[in-house]
Chains A and B, each alone.
Chain A
Amino acid sequence: MEEIKKGKEIKTLEDVVTHYCPGCGHGIVHRLVADAIDELQIRERTIGIAPIGCSVLIYNYLNVDFQEVPHGRAPAAATAIKRAQPDKIVFTYQGDGDLASIGTAEIVHAANRGENITVIFINNAVYGMTGGQMAPTTVLDQKTTTSPYGRNSNIAGFPLRVCELLSSLDGVAYLERVSVSSPKNVVKAKRAIKHAFDVQLAGKGFSLVEVLSQCPMGWHMKPVDSVKWVDEVMSKTFHLKKFKDI
């Protein structure tokens, strides 16, 4: 590997153009994760696990080591990375299809074992990368390409509330749901993400921050309307709240 010249401070956020759509929340959350890593000075010992979904390319935007694993399996890989390298800071970055649909077994069991890892969970109520299909977190009556008449609970069940689900597990140390829909909410989200890494640094166990994130493309909305929708619709199903902090 190429040696890096000393004396130059390396930032976690890469100075590159992302592939994210205009108004997407991923860019904001990437920045918050990067800032938390820089502020805690843990960049050189952080290992991320990328999901399958829009944010699979997160490893192009954050300057830390990364592993890319199958859809939904990041918590399993993170478990083993942390067990093999307990001195490292290990985090997964997962979307709602990845974490709350195909990967429900992995997230529940990693949380239940109290793995000392951090999970950044992006909930944008839709499958973004595949073109806006219904997600486990799609809210009732929300129209997507696979719920064209709106999500009907008789057919498609109910939006899955991950924080509520995980809050009963003894292995969980910290759980909070935040959003990035306004500057005020971004500040709160930043605090939560940094705290989640702090929980891991303190060896307290499993930490997860659920971020309600706007997907203007998937929702067929203008960016301004999409942040309004987070506040006015999405947060009514997914309450912004700290669920657990031991």
Chain B
Amino acid sequence: MGEKLLFKGNEAIAEAAIRAGCRYYFGYPITPQNAIPEYMSRRMPEIGGVFLQAESEIAAINMVFGAGGSGVRAMTTTSSPGISLMQEGISYLAGAEIPCVIVNVMRGGPGLGGIQPAQSDYFQATKGGGHGDYSCIVLGPSTLQELAEFVFLAFELADKYRNPVIILTDGVMGQMMEPVEFLPEVDISKLPQKKWATTGAKNRKKIILKSLFLDPEKLEKHNIHLQEKFKRMQDEIRWEEISSEDCELLLVAYGTAARVSKKAITVAKEIGLSFGIFRPLTLYPFPYTQLKEVVKKGKVKKILVVEMNMGQMIEDVKLAIEGLVPVEFYGRTGGVMPVVDEIIEKAKKMLKEVV
């Protein structure tokens, strides 16, 4: 690890990507992530990389396709409405098994929604998003240090599985400042060669990167192959627990909502309430069995899912818990932040009902 630097979230994403070996960035301006393309437009020429402001998010994701298919580390970043435009391309990337990193600095939706932070794209990111049977690995950091590390991880996992990886963050994380210690810089020349990339059919057979299989049997076979890969991704499940087995009320939250939830644990302790937190770091694959284990082993009486939306991850939490304990929801949306006081109030009510 290097020195600690004070970084803004959006710029930390950009700098981390460069240090992780990304030399090809394609993006389109959209709030609240504009600092990323701005940073890239300055830095990429300095290191011989490519920054290109695409004509749309649609073009940007297809540029990522072309670059990713050329075997280089490529990235795009956007915010919620932009991700909707990219979904077609993400489906094609997953179908053709082309690695890339996509960062969604989420804002409130639906439609044009607003420009303030939210977690409204959880379903879209974790349940496919585009057409067809596919999944992207989805990472949900909650500190800038984690965010910077996840950018490295995202490139690594994208290459490992030949699949798009999404970092799901929000306007709070994008705009705030925190100390960041970047991981050691990746030496691009030492990365494993991508023999599947389209680099010209010299001394080998031609390579075709495609997602079309007109023969149904072949398409089914391809889909089974993809599913097997998505199953292997279970090895990448990451999560964090704090006082999870000794608590009466378990909070489940990720990203910015997890920051607020962590603060709620401290406040709860002061007033004699027993809170814990289970924080998924990989939102896909979701830590279903790990969460269920916590509830099975511990003293958890109830679960409160905290999100910056109208209730999306709660569905995965319920799937994980399989009815073992009641699961309730507290969320604010549209750019309104969840607050500790409201978590405590909700928790008090829930725990009273237990007694």
* A interface with B by C-beta (< 8 Å): 1-4, 43-47, 49-50, 56, 59, 63-70, 73, 76-81, 83-85, 88, 105-106, 108-109
Cross-chain contact B62 with A68 (CB below 8 angstroms) = no
Q: A76-B54, A106-B55 are in contact. Are A64 and B206 (CB under 8 A)?
A: yes
User: How far, in Å, is B214 (CB) from chain A's closest CB?
Assistant: 8
Q: A68-B209, A78-B66, A83-B67 are in contact. Are A44 and B200 (CB under 8 A)?
A: yes
* B interface with A by C-beta (< 8 Å): 24, 26, 50, 52, 54-56, 58-60, 62-67, 69-72, 74, 88-89, 92, 96, 195, 198-212
Cross-chain contact A68 with B210 (CB below 8 angstroms) = yes
Cross-chain contact A76 with B210 (CB below 8 angstroms) = no
For the complex, what is the distance from the CA of A83 to the CA of B44, rounded to whole Å? 13
For the complex, what is the distance from the CA of A47 to the CA of B195, rounded to whole Å? 15
20 contacts between A and B (CB under 8 A): A2-B205, A3-B204, A44-B201, A45-B202, A46-B200, A47-B198, A59-B206, A63-B201, A64-B201, A65-B199, A65-B207, A67-B208, A68-B209, A73-B58, A77-B62, A78-B66, A80-B67, A81-B69, A84-B72, A109-B59
Cross-chain contact A88 with B26 (CB below 8 angstroms) = no
In chain B, what residue has the closest Cβ to A105? B55
User: How far, in Å, is B22 (CB) from chain A's closest CB?
Assistant: 12
For the complex, what is the distance from the CA of A63 to the CA of B205, rounded to whole Å? 8
Cross-chain contact B55 with A67 (CB below 8 angstroms) = no
B26: A residues at CB distance < 8 A: 80
In chain A, what residue has the closest Cβ to B70? A84
For the complex, what is the distance from the CA of A105 to the CA of B57, rounded to whole Å? 11
- Partner of B199 from the list A3, A66, A85 (CB cut-off 8 Å) is A85
In chain B, what residue has the closest Cβ to A86? B50
A45: B residues at CB distance < 8 A: 200, 202
In chain A, what residue has the closest Cβ to B24? A84
User: How far, in Å, is A209 (CB) from chain B's closest CB?
Assistant: 21
The 9 closest A-B pairs by CB, nearest first: A80-B66, A77-B66, A68-B210, A44-B202, A76-B62, A65-B198, A73-B62, A1-B204, A80-B63
Cross-chain contact B69 with A105 (CB below 8 angstroms) = no
In chain B, what residue has the closest Cβ to A109? B55
B195: A residues at CB distance < 8 A: 1
- Partner of A84 from the list B66, B203, B204, B206 (CB cut-off 8 Å) is B66
For the complex, what is the distance from the CA of A88 to the CA of B212, rounded to whole Å? 25
User: How far, in Å, is A200 (CB) from chain B's closest CB?
Assistant: 14
A44: B residues at CB distance < 8 A: 200-203
Cross-chain contact B62 with A81 (CB below 8 angstroms) = no
Cross-chain contact B204 with A4 (CB below 8 angstroms) = yes
For the complex, what is the distance from the CA of A108 to the CA of B54, rounded to whole Å? 12
For the complex, what is the distance from the CA of A3 to the CA of B195, rounded to whole Å? 12
Cross-chain contact B208 with A59 (CB below 8 angstroms) = yes
A84: B residues at CB distance < 8 A: 24, 50, 66-67, 70-72, 74
User: How far, in Å, is A10 (CB) from chain B's closest CB?
Assistant: 8
B210: A residues at CB distance < 8 A: 50, 59, 66-68
For the complex, what is the distance from the CA of A46 to the CA of B212, rounded to whole Å? 21
- Partner of A88 from the list B74, B199, B204 (CB cut-off 8 Å) is B199
B56: A residues at CB distance < 8 A: 105
- Partner of A80 from the list B55, B70, B199, B206 (CB cut-off 8 Å) is B70
For the complex, what is the distance from the CA of A102 to the CA of B136, rounded to whole Å? 26
For the complex, what is the distance from the CA of A83 to the CA of B211, rounded to whole Å? 23
Cross-chain contact A79 with B63 (CB below 8 angstroms) = yes
For the complex, what is the distance from the CA of A83 to the CA of B34, rounded to whole Å? 23
Cross-chain contact A76 with B202 (CB below 8 angstroms) = no
For the complex, what is the distance from the CA of A1 to the CA of B52, rounded to whole Å? 32
In chain B, what residue has the closest Cβ to A60? B208
For the complex, what is the distance from the CA of A1 to the CA of B206, rounded to whole Å? 9
For the complex, what is the distance from the CA of A84 to the CA of B22, rounded to whole Å? 11
Cross-chain contact B89 with A65 (CB below 8 angstroms) = no
For the complex, what is the distance from the CA of A226 to the CA of B221, rounded to whole Å? 40
B69: A residues at CB distance < 8 A: 67, 77, 81
